[in-house]
Amino acid sequence: MERKIKVEKWNEQEDGQLCVENMEKKLRKQGFSCTMYEFSPGTTFPDHTHEISKKDSIVTGQFQFSMYGKTIVMQPGEMIEVPKNTVHNAKVVGNQTVTFFDATK
């Protein structure tokens, strides 16, 4: 079975205007605890795994993300779930800082 990167998109009608406060509110409503980070242009994260499943969410900037042999460029308001022990990598693309939420249950 081929695995795909499932992207959840921001819904302004349900979630309000995309901003740090509303993203954190949405993630907490979904049962996640979260930490916000800002990553500068050029920041890279080589192949790695996590011992817990998590959700990555972008508020600003563009974040190239690779998992399951597939690569996407996440845009503001996009969220993806990363299953535990799944190899993935990422990097900031473009010249804008990425505002990023790392969310876990």
The answer to whether 65 touches 48, Cβ cutoff 8 Å, is no
How far from the centroid of its chain's Cα atoms is residue 12's Cα? 17
pLDDT value at 1 more than 90:
no
Write the pLDDT tens digit of every residue in 79-103.
999 999 999 999 999 999 999 999 9
- Whether 18 is in a domain gets the answer yes
- Whether 2 is in a domain gets the answer no
- Whether 1 is in a domain gets the answer no
Residue 105: C-alpha distances to residues 5, 32, 39, 70, 79 (Å)? 19, 5, 23, 25, 15
80: domain CATH number is 2.60.120.10
pTM score: 0.94
pLDDT value at 29 more than 80:
yes
Domain of residue 29: give its range. Answer: 7-104
Query: How many CB atoms are closer than 10 A to CB 51?
Result: 6
- Whether 85 is in a domain gets the answer yes
Q: Residue 44 and residue 21: Cα distance in Å, rounded? A: 25
User: How many separate domains does the chain show?
Assistant: 1
Write the pLDDT tens digit of every residue in 39-79.
999 999 999 999 999 999 999 999 999 999 999 999 999 99
- Whether 82 is in a domain gets the answer yes
